[in-house]
Amino acid sequence: MKKTFVLIVLFVLPIVAYLFFASGVTNFGRLPILTEAVSDLDKIQPDVSFKGKITILGFLGNDVELKKGNAFNLNQKIYKRFYEFHDFQMVMLMPVGTEEKVEELKKELGNLVDIKNWIFVFGEESEIKELFSSLRTDLSLDDNTGTPYVFIVDKEGNLRGRDKDEDEGLKYGFNAVSVADLNNKMVDDVKIILAEYRLALKNNNADR
């Protein structure tokens, strides 16, 4: 009996575990699309686009000082984990006139990590509102054209999120004020979408 038990532990359980996790990737390794065809960034700044990039999109608004804490939370909890992926970018859509404040913020962020994939796009208030509106969420911009929420936009320009979140039901964005929201939910969702694209790439290469 002991030998049989040992054989089961050594050979059968690992196979069962593999099948379980493999099926998990197939069945649960997709982050739901909540909004298709978000208005692209290149309408505001021609050299920046959602296409071909996994984008964390944020709106810091006019009061950069007020939103600095959000930027630092994102820098530490999200950006530092994923910035070395060549197809990952952190984009903040900023009102024209905040350029000097953004330069100060970039210096502070750069003291902590290489900020090569932190991108700040400057647009008119109407342009920012138009792009935000195209996300078609249940959230809104404040009077400073900002929001504490950040969003995951995929390489095709679709908004990704959760359609069955345990707390919110439909979860369009992640609250950068809340370290718990970033740690417990957003990190997992970014991992899922990165794994999704890597699995697709692996399958495409295998089919060639």
Residue 22 has what pLDDT?
41
Residue 11 has what pLDDT?
55
Say yes or no: 18 and 85 in one domain.
no
**Segment among 27-31, 47-51, 106-110, 188-192 with least mean pLDDT:** 27-31
Residue 1 has what pLDDT?
59
Say yes or no: 135 and 40 in one domain.
yes
Say yes or no: 69 and 146 in one domain.
yes
Say yes or no: 75 and 128 in one domain.
yes
Say yes or no: 165 and 111 in one domain.
yes
Residue 27 has what pLDDT?
41
Give the pLDDT band (50/70/90) at residue 25: very low
Say yes or no: 26 and 36 in one domain.
no
Say yes or no: 23 and 116 in one domain.
no
Residue 85 has what pLDDT?
93
Q: Per-residue pLDDT tens for 185-198?
A: 999 999 999 999 88
Average pLDDT over residues 37-63: 97
Say yes or no: 68 and 17 in one domain.
no
Residue 199 has what pLDDT?
84
Q: Give percent of the chain with pLDDT exceeding 70.
A: 82
Look up the CATH number of the domain holding residue 148: 3.40.30.10
Average pLDDT over residues 137-144: 96
pLDDT higher than 50, residue 134? yes
Give the pLDDT band (50/70/90) at residue 62: very high
Give the pLDDT band (50/70/90) at residue 3: low
Q: Which structural domain, as residue segments, surrounds residue 148?
A: 32-207
- Tell me the three-class secondary structure of the chain, residue by residue: CHHHHHHHHHHHHHHHHHHHHHHHHHHHCCCCEEECCCCCHHHCCCCCCCCCCEEEEEECCCCHHHHHHHHHHHHHHHHHHHCCCCCEEEEEEEECCCHHHHHHHHHHHHCCCCCCCEEEEEECHHHHHHHHHHCCCCCCCCCCCCEEEEEEECCCCCEECEEEECCCEEECCEECCCHHHHHHHHHHHHHHHHHHHHHHHHHHHHHC
pLDDT higher than 50, residue 130? yes
pLDDT higher than 80, residue 108? yes
pLDDT higher than 70, residue 7? no
Say yes or no: 6 and 42 in one domain.
no
